[in-house]
A = this chain, B = another copy of it.
Amino acid sequence: MVMGRPRSFDMDKALDEAMEVFWRHGYDGASLAMLTKAMGIKAPSLYAAFGSKEGLLKAALDRYALRRSEHMRYVLAGPTARDVAERFLSSIAESHTDPANPPGCLLVQGGLACGAGSENIPFELASRRAQTETELLERFAQAKADGDLPDDSEPVALARFLSTVASGMGVIASSGATRGALREVARVSLGAFPGKA
């Protein structure tokens, strides 16, 4: 079996560039012209590699998830539920204002609302956001079973609360909120979490 002409661009580098464009402009706002220019390839190469604009987004989201899974591993490894919450919000304050990336969260910036023909993108993003919430939920349910969280605590509500605050932080970060402001939100939010003051 013959191999054919090898790909002349680095897929991961190209995906990082595409991720940045989607992050900054959203799915609808990211045009093929922007994407191909940022990725340094022409449209046919893009379509050969990713199938469609939506396919490219999903590949970029997969790569984004890869980054986040490292964060989440650290977050979930917190010794107590409260530590997990603290790590979760703090790491978001940092990552959402990391000057190496566009401000905010790709899963929020990517598109809450889309035009005709892109109706499923918001669902795609929402399902990826839900995954993080589920991870928190499972961690808190375990903490409750272990007696780390009080018996009257509500893991579902706590996970949803943290996930909601995280989305909110994504919104204000994209509007220019500083890292200090996000840290403050994280600190105040933690006041709603059971455990030592």
CB distance from A49 to the nearest CB of B (A): 23
**Most B C-beta atoms less than 10 A away, residue of A26, A126, A166, A191:** A26
Q: Are B122 and A174 in contact (CB under 8 A)?
A: yes
Residue on B with the closest CB to A22? Answer: B113
Quick check: is A131 within 8 A (CB to CB) of the other chain?
A: no
Q: Are A115 and B25 in contact (CB under 8 A)?
A: yes
CA gap between A193 and B169 in the complex, in Å: 18
Quick check: is A163 within 8 A (CB to CB) of the other chain?
A: yes
CB distance from A92 to the nearest CB of B (A): 11
Given known contacts A28-B28, A115-B26, is B161 in contact with A181 (CB within 8 Å)?
no
Copies of the protein in its oligomer: 2
CA gap between A175 and B184 in the complex, in Å: 26
Quick check: is A139 within 8 A (CB to CB) of the other chain?
A: no
Given known contacts A168-B165, A168-B171, A188-B192, is B114 in contact with A108 (CB within 8 Å)?
no
Q: Are A29 and B118 in contact (CB under 8 A)?
A: yes
CB distance from A75 to the nearest CB of B (A): 18
CB distance from A185 to the nearest CB of B (A): 5
- Residues 12 to 57 of chain A near chain B (Cβ within 8 Å): 23-26, 28-31, 34
| 22 A-B interface contacts by CB (under 8 A) | A23-B113, A24-B113, A25-B116, A29-B115, A31-B115, A104-B112, A109-B112, A109-B113, A122-B175, A126-B175, A126-B176, A154-B188, A157-B187, A160-B185, A161-B184, A161-B188, A167-B167, A167-B168, A168-B171, A189-B189, A189-B192, A190-B192
Q: 19 new A-B pairs (CB below 8 Å) besides A29-B116, A129-B171, A167-B172? A: A25-B114, A25-B115, A26-B26, A29-B113, A29-B115, A109-B113, A110-B113, A111-B113, A112-B112, A129-B175, A157-B184, A161-B184, A161-B189, A163-B172, A167-B167, A168-B171, A188-B192, A189-B192, A190-B192
